[in-house]
A = this chain, B = another copy of it.
Amino acid sequence: MELTERKLRILQAIIDEYMGTAEPVGSRAISKKNNLGLSSATIRNEMADLEEMGFLIQPHTSAGRVPSDVAYRYYVNSMMKRYKIGVKTIVQLQNAMEQKISQLDSIIKKASHITSALTDYTAFITTPDVTGNYIKKCEIVSLSGGCSLLIIVTQAGIVKNKILTLSLDDNSAAILGEIINKTLCGLCANDITFDKIQSMQSEISERLNLSPKALINILDFIYDAVEELDDTDIYIENAKSILKYNDIEKAQKMFTFLEDKKNLKNLIKGDSNGKVNIKIGSENQVEELKDCSLVSVNYSLNNKTAGQLGVIGPKRMNYAKVVASLDCISEHIDKILYQLYIGESEE
Contacts and interface: CB of A to CB of B under 8 A. Distances in A.
A319 to B, nearest CB: 25
Interface in A117-142: 136-137, 139, 141
Nearest to A237: B259
A93 B161 CA distance: 25
Contact of A340 (B155, B165, B251): B165
Interface residues of A, number: 46
A136 B173 CA distance: 13
A26 interface: no
Copies of the polypeptide in the assembly: 2
Interface in A252-289: 252, 255-256, 259
Contacts of A234: none
A347 interface: yes
A128 to B, nearest CB: 13
A347 B145 CA distance: 7
Contact of A157 (B101, B149, B347): B149
Contact of A259 (B165, B240, B339): B240
A221 B101 CA distance: 12
A175 interface: no
A163 B240 contact: no
A173 to B, nearest CB: 9
Interface of A: 101-104, 136-137, 139, 141, 143-147, 149, 151, 153, 155-157, 159, 161-165, 167, 221, 224, 238-240, 243, 248, 251-252, 255-256, 259, 339-345, 347
A229 to B, nearest CB: 14
A238 B259 CA distance: 8
Contacts of A144: 136, 155-156, 341-343, 347
B240 A147 contact: no
A234 to B, nearest CB: 15
27 contacts: A101-B163, A102-B162, A102-B163, A102-B164, A104-B163, A136-B141, A136-B143, A137-B139, A139-B139, A139-B151, A141-B153, A144-B155, A144-B156, A144-B342, A144-B343, A146-B345, A147-B340, A149-B157, A151-B151, A151-B159, A153-B161, A163-B340, A240-B252, A240-B255, A240-B256, A240-B259, A248-B248
